[in-house]
Amino acid sequence: MTDVATMQPELTLIVAATRSMGIGLNGTMPWTGLRREMQYFARVTTRLAPGAPPGSVNAVIMGRKTWDSIPARFRPLRNRLNIVVSRRHPPLEPAPSEPVRVSSLEQAVEYAGTHPLVGRVFVMGGGQTYDAALRMDAARRVLLTSMKMDCECDTFFGLDPGRREAAAAGWRRRGVDEWRRWTGETGDAHADEAGVAYEWQMWERE
C-alpha cells in the first residue's frame, strides 16, 4: 500500500496581515483598493515552478468562507486547481465551474498530492485553514504581505514569524533575492498604494 505521506506536497501559505497579524474583519479583508497586492497574489499562485510538466497547474486550498468571499465572477480562480475545505461537500469530482470540495485540509493535501498535474500547493485562508496548515509538517513556507498598519480585525494569522517562538520552531526569513527566485518576481519587495505601505516577505521552516 502506498504511504500517503510520501506523496504529501509541501505547503506554501500565502497571507496578508497587519502588524498584529490581523487578516480579516467580518468575513472579509480589512483593507480595500490594493490592486498591486491582488495582482501579486494572482501571479505568484498561478506561476509554475521551473521545470513543471506541460499542462501543470498550481493548487489553491481555501476554507468555505474564503471561497464564499470571492466575488462570483472571479470564481473559481482561473488557471489554478481550486480546492475548498467544507463540511458540506459533494463528490470530489466537480463540474468544470465548481471547485473540488473536501471535508478536511488533510483530504485537500492528499488530493493535491495525488493529482498528476498539480505543481505548487498554496493555502490561502481563512484563519482556521491557516491554523490547520501550520500544524502540518508539510507547511514549509509563508509568503507574507506585511502591512505596515494596524486596524480592527477579528481574525488573526496563527504565526507571527518575527517572534521568538517562531524562530524556536525553525521559521527563518529569506532575503529578497531568494524571494525573487522562488516567486519569479523581478521588482521591488516594497509597495505603497491607497495610503497603505506593505512589504512582500518569504519565511521558510528549516
pLDDT recorded at residue 166: 95
Examine residue 9 and state whether it is found in any structural domain, yes or no.
no
| Domains of the chain: total | 1
pTM of the model: 0.92
| Residue 32, pLDDT score | 86
| Phi (first) and psi of residue 174, to 5 degrees | -95, 155
Q: Is residue 172 part of a domain?
A: yes
Q: Does residue 7 belong to any structural domain of this protein?
A: no
Residue 75 lies in a domain: yes
Phi and psi at residue 47, in whole multiples of 5°?
-65, 130
Determine the Cα–Cα distance for residues 127 and 135; give it in Å rounded to an integer: 13
pLDDT, averaged per 10 consecutive residues of the chain (206 residues), comes to 60 97 91 93 98 96 94 94 84 64 95 94 97 97 96 95 94 98 97 95 97
Do residues 160 and 168 make contact, with C-beta atoms less than 8 angstroms apart? no
> For residue range 64-94, what is the model confidence (pLDDT) as tens digits?
999 999 999 999 999 999 999 997 765 555 5
98 occurs within a structural domain = yes
Domain residues for 113?
17-205
* Domain at 182, CATH number: 3.40.430.10
Q: Residue 4 has what pLDDT?
A: 43
* Three cell numbers written together for 123: 493555502
Domain contains 35: yes
pLDDT score, position 167: 95
5 assigned to some structural domain: no
Strand pairing report for 155-156 and 22-24? antiparallel
The pLDDT assigned to 91 comes to: 52
Is residue 1 in some structural domain? no
